[in-house]
């Protein structure tokens, strides 16, 4: 009798922690509210997907992503055709839920039905992403998986993002990744509910976007003699027929990637670097520099390179043409024009730049940089876009309608003056930095140390910014500079799992931030990545 009681007691103890505090489903980013419900929905070949017209794309996405692993060929219907069937997944827009803002959704799972209601189609799409995460991780497999019970636990979720700009930047200049690889990255971003892809298309080491008016930009500027950065030539396969290293996207490629991104509710922000970081451009059209060459060497042996001449009108004519073609390809609001790390020595020594400063009443080269950006801003604004640039575009006075991407400061000052700001501080969001202090166990990186826990601690709202200006902080993003990242598997390794932490910092409510809970949800995310064959960093970060 006593024994039985003890057994019973230990049984209760064993079960209690599980039943009492049922582990919440491993959803990343953590939703605003999650309430566990009785029962579970079981996916079967008879399950119907019912979507009104406005949500049909998300419904098709869902059907397409359920199919490979389950083998069930769901058809998307606008009305239930068989009311007695074993349950249905409903997708619709709603205006009835006053809590839901843009990109928000409500997801309800009972034994009979799954309902996803979105404030807009993006919201429905994010509801679909959450639903996929509620299924066993094998749902992410690319081939048929047998022996899995495709159950979705009963749950009621209401969710929406904290920030509107949830981004990732990929530098495709230092190393080139194919269109297919870029699209795969977009797929993975969508799973994390990220909505902004910043495509760093231009830098000293490569020009990656076809410009019809200036074919040499890609004929010359997209290729270099070797992989560079003292890396193993075998670490990449991006070699042209002539053996040169590099690559570029045709305008057709770009249009396809933009459309693909749109289908995933991702906006692409193209970056065309200027006035610095422009060796690739100036190798193709050296007449746009002060010296007439991509770089110049002064009497002391100093090398000043990759800067457009701010004195020549031809420079601005060239950049106008380039931006015209770029803006034609990218429908998003923002055009990124770089503006970072511009050495001023060329301009100091250039007669035309000095003459420009005199005629425009500019007191130093910082003001010349500001003059440069303001002229470009006019071109961008005239096309109905907005200009965004790195912290340094504030030098010499920020252009009136420009937004700032803060990597080394300036957010508080810019936001206080009414400018929009995207946060990407080196301390929290530089994914080119090491993920561990044990460098021998890591692939070679540029330096730094950005462990997962640090990304998780990222708070996009600057503490010093008064509340009334906080709406100018659009959100944040991580930057993957790729000097030492020569192939796409390595990109994945640098991005995952840090992007999961970033996504939670940008999406989930500030007060819901929970590092321990995040770590408990991470193994499920690893399983999802494993199913997709994605490379990621495992283990602790010390
Ligand atoms: C600074 S962040 C840069 C990049 C480098 C990166 C390396 C920024 C606007 N410019 O050109 O790749 O550091 O971490």
* Tens digit of each residue's pLDDT (9 = 90 or more) over 392-441: 999 999 999 999 999 999 999 999 999 999 999 999 999 999 999 999 99
Give me the mean pLDDT over the 227-235 stretch.
96
Residue 13 has pLDDT above 50, yes or no: no
Query: Within 75-207, where are the H helices?
Result: 121-134, 179-191
pLDDT value, residue 292: 87
**Cβ-based neighbours of 134, under 8 Å, separated by 6 or more:** 25, 27, 109, 152, 153, 155
Which of 475, 465, 529 has its CA nearest to residue 507? 475
Query: Within 135-250, where are the H helices?
Result: 179-191, 216-219
Categorize the per-residue pLDDT at 296 as very low, low, confident or very high, splitting at 50, 70 and 90: low
200 CA to middle of ligand 1, Å?
11
277 CA to middle of ligand 1, Å?
10
pLDDT value, residue 298: 60
Which of 496, 492, 477, 363 has its CA nearest to residue 423? 477
pLDDT value, residue 445: 97
State whether the beta carbon of 431 lies less than 6 angstroms from ligand 1: no
Give me the mean pLDDT over the 33-38 stretch.
95
Tokens 């730094």 identify what position?
448
DSSP state string for 30-71: PPSEEEEEEEEEE--TT-EEEE-GGGHHHHHHHHHHHHHHH-
Residue 5 has pLDDT above 70, yes or no: no
State whether the beta carbon of 341 lies less than 6 angstroms from ligand 1: yes
pLDDT value, residue 6: 35
Categorize the per-residue pLDDT at 487 as very low, low, confident or very high, splitting at 50, 70 and 90: very high
Q: Could you give the C-alpha distances from 396 to 274, 355, 362, in angstroms and in order?
A: 16, 17, 9
pLDDT value, residue 293: 80
Instruction: Report pLDDT digits (tens) over 40-52.
Output: 999 999 999 999 9
Residue 93 has pLDDT above 80, yes or no: yes
CATH-assigned architecture of domain 2-159: 2-Layer Sandwich (3.30)
Instruction: Report pLDDT digits (tens) over 430-466.
Output: 999 999 999 999 999 999 999 999 999 999 999 999 9
Where in the chain are the domains? Answer: 2-159, 165-508
* Nearest atom (ligand 1) to Cα of 171: 12
Q: Could you give the C-alpha distances from 331 to 166, 259, 268, 368, in angstroms and in order?
A: 18, 10, 8, 30
| Least confident span in 25-34, 297-306, 459-468 | 297-306
State whether the beta carbon of 481 lies less than 6 angstroms from ligand 1: yes
Mean residue pLDDT across the chain: 93
Instruction: Report pLDDT digits (tens) over 266-293.
Output: 999 999 999 999 999 999 999 999 988 8
pLDDT value, residue 85: 56
pLDDT value, residue 25: 84
* Nearest atom (ligand 1) to Cα of 341: 10
User: To 5 degrees, how large is the angle CA 137–CA 140–CA 141?
Assistant: 105
Instruction: Report pLDDT digits (tens) over 317-358.
Output: 999 999 999 999 999 999 999 999 998 988 999 999 999 999
Query: Do β-strands 33-42 and 151-159 pair in parallel, antiparallel, or remain unpaired?
Result: antiparallel
Query: Crossing angle, helix 313-329 and helix 251-263, to 10 degrees?
Result: 50
User: To 5 degrees, how large is the angle CA 151–CA 266–CA 430?
Assistant: 100
User: 77-81, long-range: CB within 8 Å, 24+ apart, which pairs?
Assistant: 77/48, 77/49, 77/50, 77/51, 78/50, 78/51, 78/52, 78/53, 79/50, 80/48, 80/50, 81/48
State whether the beta carbon of 150 lies less than 6 angstroms from ligand 1: no
Report the largest interatomic distance among the alpha carbons of the chain, rounded to a whole angstrom.
Answer: 101
State whether the beta carbon of 220 lies less than 6 angstroms from ligand 1: no
Name the pTM for this structure. 0.94
State whether the beta carbon of 229 lies less than 6 angstroms from ligand 1: no
* Nearest atom (ligand 1) to Cα of 405: 9
* Nearest atom (ligand 1) to Cα of 430: 14
What are 279's two structure tokens?
């060796």
Fold held by 165-508: TIM Barrel (3.20.20)
Give me the mean pLDDT over the 143-157 stretch.
97
Categorize the per-residue pLDDT at 55 as very low, low, confident or very high, splitting at 50, 70 and 90: very high
Q: Which residues are catalytic?
A: 203, 277, 341
Name the residue at shortest CA distance from atom 5 of ligand 1: 481
What are 537's two structure tokens?
């960093």
């Amino acid at each position: 009798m006593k024994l039985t009681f003890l057994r019973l007691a230990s049984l209760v103890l064993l079960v209690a922690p599980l039943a009492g505090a049922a582990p919440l489903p491993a959803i990343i980013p953590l939703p605003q509210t999650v309430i566990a419900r009785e029962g579970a929905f079981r996916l079967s070949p008879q399950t119907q997907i019912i979507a009104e017209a406005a949500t049909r794309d998300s419904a098709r996405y869902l059907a397409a992503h359920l199919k490979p692993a389950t083998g069930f060929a769901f058809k998307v219907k606008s009305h239930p055709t068989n009311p007695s069937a074993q349950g249905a997944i409903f997708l619709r827009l709603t205006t009835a839920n006053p809590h839901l803002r843009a990109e928000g959704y409500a997801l309800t799972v009972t034994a009979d039905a799954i309902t996803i209601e979105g404030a807009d189609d993006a919201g429905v799409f994010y509801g679909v992403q959450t639903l996929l995460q509620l299924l066993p991780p094998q749902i992410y497999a690319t081939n048929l998986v047998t022996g899995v019970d495709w159950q979705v636990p009963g749950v009621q979720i209401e969710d929406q993002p904290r920030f509107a700009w949830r981004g990732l930047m990929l530098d495709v200049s230092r190393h080139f990744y194919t269109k297919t690889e870029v699209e795969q990255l977009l797929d993975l971003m969508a799973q994390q509910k990220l909505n902004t892809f910043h495509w760093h298309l231009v830098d000293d080491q490569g020009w990656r976007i076809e410009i019809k008016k200036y074919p040499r930009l890609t004929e010359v500027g997209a290729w270099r003699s070797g992989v560079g950065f003292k890396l193993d030539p075998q670490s990449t396969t991006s070699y042209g027929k002539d053996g040169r290293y590099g690559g570029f996207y045709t305008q057709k490629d770009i249009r396809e990637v933009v459309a693909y991104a749109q289908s995933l509710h991702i906006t692409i922000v193209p970056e065309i670097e200027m006035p610095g970081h422009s060796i690739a451009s100036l190798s193709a059209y050296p007449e746009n520099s002060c010296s007439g060459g991509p770089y110049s060497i002064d009497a002391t042996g100093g090398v000043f390179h990759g800067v457009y001449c701010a004195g020549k009108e031809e420079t601005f004519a060239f950049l106008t043409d380039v931006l015209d073609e770029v803006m034609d390809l990218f429908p998003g609001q923002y055009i990124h024009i770089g503006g970072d790390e511009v050495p001023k020595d060329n301009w100091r020594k250039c007669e035309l730049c000095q003459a420009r400063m005199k005629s425009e009443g500019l007191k130093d080269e910082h003001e010349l940089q500001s003059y440069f950006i303001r002229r470009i801003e006019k071109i961008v604004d005239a096309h109905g876009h907005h200009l965004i640039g790195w912290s340094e575009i504030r030098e010499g006075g920020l252009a009136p309608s420009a937004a700032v991407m803060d990597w080394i400061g300036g957010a508080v000052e810019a936001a206080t003056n009414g400018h929009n700001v995207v946060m990407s501080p080196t301390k929290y969001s530089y994914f080119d930095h090491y993920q561990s202090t044990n460098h021998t166990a890591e692939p070679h990186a540029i330096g730094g140390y950005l462990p997962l826990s640090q990304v998780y601690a990222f708070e996009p709202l600057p503490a010093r910014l008064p509340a009334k200006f906080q709406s100018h902080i659009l959100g944040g993003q991580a930057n993957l500079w790729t000097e030492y990242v020569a192939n796409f598997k390595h990109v994945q390794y640098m991005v995952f799992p840090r992007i999961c932490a970033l996504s939670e910092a940008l999406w989930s409510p500030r007060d819901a931030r929970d590092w321990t809970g995040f770590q408990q949800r991470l193994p499920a995310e690893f399983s999802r990545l494993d199913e997709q064959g994605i490379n990621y960093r495992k283990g602790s970060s010390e």
